[in-house]
Amino acid sequence: MEFDQLAEALKALGDPTRLKIVALLQTRDCCVCELVPMFGISQPAISKHMSRLKTSGLVKETRKGMWVFYSLNRERLNEIGLSLANLPDLSEELRQLEQKGMLVQCE
Amino acid sequence: MEFDQLAEALKALGDPTRLKIVALLQTRDCCVCELVPMFGISQPAISKHMSRLKTSGLVKETRKGMWVFYSLNRERLNEIGLSLANLPDLSEELRQLEQKGMLVQCE
DNA sequence: AGACTACATAACCGTATGGTTATATTGTTT
DNA sequence: AAACAATATAACCATACGGTTATGTAGTCT
């Protein structure tokens, strides 16, 4: 995964409310009206959080009558964790920069 | 790890520049003056990024003469990855909320 | 059709963020 | 001591963020 995309995903997870929502969705799917009383913030606030989680691929929505059920995209969450545990090796880029003299080796 | 603390760490990683710095530090320690030309942003900008990474425990600094070498705290990075892969199970909290009737079970 | 419910979107607001330039601060060198 | 180099801090700025209230939209139920 590219840095920009991974950073975007990490930023989506880097909010306590969204992080807890993701944890909740591990247990079971939830609709917005369930999440509102849990977090004590307004319905639009929850909607925006869900929208952001959806944009970064962490959550899928399923319309069911009036309700919109959000479910966790476990593969995506797993992928982010793996990317974080396995960040790209930039030693080659470092070597090239050093060769071009663009990199001062301090010490 | 608590949600707030983990979210804080994820937010620290949720910036492309900082994420790439962390990846670079996997290869070798760097001082600020090396990072500046790599990213094409100002020295204070790099300093602030390093400060933030240090605050969230992802990076350690070692003063060596004029330079400050930053090194990756691999344990910390690992810990964050593990926390993300192993988010708390909130099923008990969900159950309690349902018992109190504070949670509408939709459908 | 009309009222109601769940959700999304819009407009707004205070604060955080990521950058800048200017100015300490600290160590090195002559 | 004076000049210089590397880093940090301060002050500032535009944009992003996380919340709010108000309003639109779509499905449900008499």
Q: Do residues B71 and B60 make contact, with C-beta atoms less than 8 angstroms apart? A: yes
- Residue range(s) defining the domain that contains residue A50: 3-99
Is the residue at B34 inside a domain? yes
> Could you list the pLDDT tens digit for every one of the 107 residues in chain B?
589 999 999 999 999 999 999 999 999 999 999 999 999 999 999 999 999 999 999 999 999 999 999 999 999 999 999 999 999 999 999 998 888 766 666 76
DSSP for residue B101: T
Please tell me the total count of domains within chain B: 1
B43 touches strand D (CB under 7 A): yes
Interchain CB contact of B11 with A (< 8 Å): yes
Protein CA at B44 to nucleotide C1' at C24, angstroms: 13
Q: With bands split at pLDDT 50, 70 and 90, how would you rate the model's confidence at A96?
A: confident
Is the residue at B106 inside a domain? no
Is the residue at A73 inside a domain? yes
What CATH code is carried by the domain that includes residue B31?
1.10.10.10
Q: Which residues of A touch B26 (CB under 8 A)?
A: 87, 89-90
Interchain CB contact of A26 with B (< 8 Å): yes
Is the residue at B39 inside a domain? yes
